[in-house]
Amino acid sequence: MDKLTPIQTKAPLVFTLQWHLTACCEQKCKHCYMREEPTYLSELKNELDINACFKIVDDFVESFGPFCQKLRINFTGGDPLLKEGIFDLINYASKRGIRIGILGNPNLITPKIARKLKRVGVATYQVSLDGLAKTHDALRGKGGLFNQTLNALSILKKEGITTVVMFTLSKRNKKELIPLIKLLNKSKLVDIFDFARLVPCGSGRKLMKDLLSPKEFRNLLLEVFHAYLDFAKDGGSIYFGRKDSLWALLYHQLGLANFIKTKPSTFALRCLACHFVKQKNY
């Protein structure tokens, strides 16, 4: 076999690993993808020990380091802060040149924990907000969690950790998406905001009736698009992600993006709406 050589590209080639470290979690979300899966108890009982995790970090660097200018790991779970040895693992990965993010819960975030996260190399911390207070707390199965999440965002922000909020979209909370964005934009606590549609797996299988129809989702995307434009005009500081792949189709329908055939059966999207998106490297 010929020796592989690094890919040449003008833009930095980034490889991101999303690593589910633990199934342990103190919340009981109505759409949890873990708790009602047949593997859940096994995952709780058979976590990798910390030395095995160090080895995976080494394998990750050796496998992808020669071909990528940047490596990233987003630790998640469950709640990754409940993983024994998590700070040692973050520190080890960070020293190997990996950019670290946490996708976790807010309830363990204190000023002391936030300082420690920053010290060992955490660059971003993502929490969930699925609506305004009453709706969010009901969906996440814990009273007071909305306010606790805002407090955690404030603590993380003060430590210079990039704050990210993700919203899980369903019929139950669709009317609160834009009001929540307005609240967060005013709070100045959030660096990045995005939303994704409910995935009916795990406990979420019971919520099939809460899935948005294609027409409902398309109309909501259009409404959110115009809201994003208004926030940009008003000097909003949040970077709004476009995680859902149907954003590209909406942009195409609005004449803001073109699909270009680059190779047989391969299409690229040329976006004509880049001036609407605040560019920032996180």
In the structure, what pLDDT confidence band is assigned to residue 231 with cuts at 50, 70 and 90?
confident
pLDDT in tens, 248-259: 889 888 888 765
pLDDT of residue 29: 87
pLDDT in tens, 28-86: 888 888 787 888 888 889 999 999 999 999 999 999 999 888 999 999 999 999 999 99
Cβ–Cβ < 8 Å for 282, 124: yes
pLDDT of residue 262: 52
pLDDT of residue 275: 38
Q: Domain boundaries in the chain?
A: 14-243, 245-282
pLDDT in tens, 87-140: 999 999 999 999 999 999 999 999 999 999 999 999 999 999 999 999 999 999
Retrieve residue 37's tokens: 């899966």
Above 80 in pLDDT, residue 177?
A: yes
Q: Give the largest CA-CA distance in the chain.
A: 59
Alpha helices per DSSP H over the chain: 40-45, 50-64, 86-95, 111-120, 133-140, 145-158, 177-187, 214-233, 246-253
pLDDT of residue 17: 96
Q: Tell me the helices (H) and strands (E) count for the chain, helix number first.
A: 9, 9
Alpha helices per DSSP H over 121-212: 133-140, 145-158, 177-187
CA atoms within 13 A on the CB side of 189: 20
- Mean pLDDT over 177-202 rounds to 94
Concatenating the DSSP letter of every residue in 19-60 gives: EE-----S---TT-SSTTSTTHHHHHH-PPPHHHHHHHHHHH
Above 90 in pLDDT, residue 5?
A: no
- Mean pLDDT over 4-26 rounds to 76
Burial class (CB in 10 A: 0-12, 13-18, 19+), 217: middle
How many residues are there in the chain? 282
Contacts of 59 (CB under 8 A, 6+ apart): none
Above 50 in pLDDT, residue 279?
A: no
Entry pTM: 0.87
Closest C-alpha to 140, from 203, 220, 184: 203
CATH class of domain segment(s) 14-243: alpha beta
Q: Bridge-partner residues for 99, per DSSP?
A: 72
Average model confidence (pLDDT) for the chain? 88
In the structure, what pLDDT confidence band is assigned to residue 6 with cuts at 50, 70 and 90?
very low
Contacts of 145 (CB under 8 A, 6+ apart): 27, 106, 107, 136, 137
Above 50 in pLDDT, residue 8?
A: no
